[in-house]
Structure 1
């Protein structure tokens, strides 16, 4: 079977460049060189096309497909050629461009959907008729494009837009309610979720359990809840349960009467439950509380009353409890080191605060907030180089916000001309070079260069980009890093 090569190619081209359609139709009648379907030139020509090509005859029989079409439908040319379009499985629920072209004798575009073991696929197929000198359709060239990934990307984009709109509405609602953020930075979607949850529970007088690693900002969230609750004008008291000796913990919580124990104040002393009456008591590191005190805390939560150490008078106290821990309370309950009944009493409204490495979108805003705080203290203006911010965003911050606060303050102190540059980034983040004592000028220069190379690699994440930034060749950078790591890395 023969077909005119020039006619076929121009039909494919016209699908992509419709403005030449009338010209190509006219050319179909004039060009006469023909070759066989199995010629090398014909095979190469079709396989160069990135879209799928399906050619059918006047009876809808498949006479040729290219490699792209084989990949799209996951079938070989041997399986497809000779098959009639109308007998194919996907035709049950789809309109064929080839069939429509034969019916209308004009170019036709159709949408098609198929389902196989890889899932649902979507295609757009444009068919172009090829006429002979008697104005009869000899072949239909169908150009097929897989739209699955594009449509999936579009759906994902719509979901992202909806999520962003939801976050904007939540933030708008928070602003309309005049919520006091008080240093709480929430720009990542993770922290917006935390902020939204905290805002919801703030107006409800329920117990809250803040979970998260040390240094993630549990106290800041606790203060946020207090300041936006009905108790905002009352006392907020923080107690670190891990910092109070076991022997003093009960008296710190419930106070004591005069003469209750040796060394006690003659007038006695109120405890934090008494001092926080009508306010909020933030119990940090609740997992460090002794089992004996856990029993007494549970009684206070249930009955809202207690007695001072050495006292007989019952004192009533209306206190809201916000607890926090970085420990696995569920595991502690299993091991019976934390009371199950107290766990359920405190876990009324749990909020998990993610670590800084899981919400890196917040880092630039936290840096800016910390710098502004430092600037107010010292009454100066400090500029930070964008490269420094990018470097800090790449670090995982095992110490979370507490570590970031320490680093930002240190850079603000040591920087010159009130400008924080990459050389002011603490060396321990990218290598403890300061632990190596140079043996001479040459070694000091090498250590300085090693430090620069490591920071460039940390910033740019590839040897090619780092070499380009340092204005050296990539082989030179790789060679120097290998040399320095062999010489100095084991000393760190």
Structure 2
């Protein structure tokens, strides 16, 4: 056996003992040698690859891109990721072999299978994305959510709404919250989620009125990779699917177009979702809470809201009253916002009794949201510890019309002590005087008492709200 034969055997042994796939080509890119298991790597047996050009094999998508071609073009070592005909992802390294004249005579390429690593990487990235979303959602919940028990109120109609929500919070029943903009529907939706068994899962807040009609379907239902022009090459999970296991809150649901309403109804009925461009659907498990500031029944009659969807949503309807109908809560809410913004801006401000009186007389068309914004502005603008009424700058046309003076027969006194009933009547008369009097002096005249007494009672009302 010649030395050449020995060298051939040794080279073959090295090629087939390697964990990497090895291909040797000449200076024209013609395959001279290939490892025997190349079919597992490239979907093409070695005997069919030998004698073929890497340019031809690249066109056949046996491997793409060709690392050997790159080496011949760049005249140096190249490392890159390849996709192969067998569906693998491989790390390919091309090494040129030079003769004494520094001309390439051979190119050796070594490829290592990264398919499993790549799959693990993609799974890890998906998991990491989900963890980050959950962490972000938990952080939002910590900062913004308040359980139903902590949403304190002195208003009988608000207490009734809270009791209803507390009873259904742990169920799977769909809740729809009706109320004007700014009454706190999102706050109540979050509180329901916090009270439910799903509280550790995501709360997905979707403002249907803020999504452009042209993007509504892709945003809500998601899409597969390359399903339309401009779509991400990785596809995208929709907001509904993001709520899987948790709670989906569709705020301003009356703004959805009729075609999206049809698709939403199908999801609610079948608990399955189909992405744009997908050929199959997948199960989704979420609890639905909806909210609107519109009269959905009227929209059904007008033909702009589907009747079947209306009844699908109308399982637990709850009305959140506007702030003007629950003025008993205004001192408490004002104090809460003052505390919040004093802490934020490093101040220690309080409301002057006449400032509170003006707040009580105002109708608050923007509801709790408007009150929050006004309190923030007062804290920022006030250069005194006591906020004067001159800083309020409220629309005088939005002052409530005076209501009839109420006596004991007008109050629900069931289960209350005499002291509690008397206090409630006194507070009502004080609020009535606030609406009719432009100052604490006028209020005192209406009530038949002294101005210091009115100031003291207003302070007490503010103090009781804390």
Give the alignment's TM-score, normalised by structure 2: 0.54
What root-mean-square deviation, in Å, do the aligned CA atoms of Structure 1 and Structure 2 show?
Answer: 2.8
2:224 paired with 1:257:
yes
Q: Tell me the SS of whatever aligns to 2:395.
A: helix
CA contact (8 A) 1:206 1:348 kept: yes
C-alpha distance in 1 between matches for 2:240 and 2:365: 34
Partner SS, residue 213 of structure 1: coil
Task: Tell me if 1:218 matches 2:177.
Answer: no
How many Å apart are 1:185 and its aligned residue?
3.8
* CA distance in structure 2 between the partners assigned to 1:428 and 1:379 by the alignment: 29
Give the total of aligned pairs. 271
Tell me which of 235, 245, 257 is aligned to 2:212: 245
**Which residue of 2 is the match for residue 349 of structure 1?**
316
Aligned to 2:373: 406
Contact 1:187 1:361 in 2 (8 A): yes
- The 1:288–1:391 alpha-carbon spacing in structure 2 relative to 1, beyond 3 Å, is same
1:414–1:308 distance in 2 versus 1, CA, 3 Å: same
Residue 385 of structure 1 and its aligned partner are, at CA, apart by 1.5
Task: Summarize deviations over 1:179-207 as a string: whole Å, max 9, x none.
Answer: 92486342211111111111111011100
Asked whether the equivalents of residues 235 and 279 of structure 1 are also in contact (C-alpha less than 8 Å), the reply is yes
Partner in structure 2 of residue 390 of structure 1 = 357
Change (3 A) 1:248 1:461: farther
Gaps of 5+ in 1: 1-178, 432-453, 472-492
Q: How far off is 1:459 after superposition?
A: 3.6
- Kept in 2: contact 1:202–1:225 (CA 8 A): yes
1:56 maps to what in 2? none
**Alpha-carbon displacement from aligned partner over 1:405-425 (angstroms, at most 9, x marks no partner):** 111111111111332112222
Q: Distance in 1 between matches of 2:384 and 2:299?
A: 52
Pick the aligned partner of 2:331 from 357, 364, 367. Answer: 364
Corresponding residue for residue 388 of structure 2: 421
Q: CA deviation at 1:463?
A: 9.3
Contact 2:148-2:192 at 8 Å conserved across structures: no
Alignment counterpart, residue 321 of structure 1, candidates 277, 283, 288: 288
Aligned residues of 1:394 and 1:459 also touching (Cα < 8 A)? no
State the 1:429 CA deviation: 4.1
CA shift in 2, pair 1:461/1:272, >3 Å: farther
Within 2, Cα distance between the matches of 1:413 and 1:346?
Answer: 42
**Which TM-score applies when normalising by structure 1?**
0.52
Alignment pair present for 1:377 and 2:344? yes
CA positional deviation for 1:382? 1.8
What is the distance in 1 between the residues matched to 2:243 and 2:212? 21
Match of 2:223, SS? Answer: coil
Residue number among 171, 187, 190 corresponding to 2:154 in the alignment: 187
Partner-residue secondary structure (3-state), 1:238: strand
Q: Secondary structure at the match of 2:225?
A: coil
Shift of 1:427: 4.7
Structure 1 residues 430 and 248: alpha-carbon distance in aligned structure 2, compared to 1, 3 A threshold: closer
Residue 230 in structure 1 maps to residue 210 in structure 2: no
Instruction: State the distance in 2 between where 1:236 and 1:394 align.
Output: 37
Aligned match for 2:304, one of 337, 342, 354: 337
Residues 27-81 of structure 1: per-residue CA shift (max 9 Å, x gap): xxxxxxxxxxxxxxxxxxxxxxxxxxxxxxxxxxxxxxxxxxxxxxxxxxxxxxx
| 1:370-427 deviations in Å (ceiling 9; x for gaps) | 1111122223322221221122011111111111111111111111133211222225
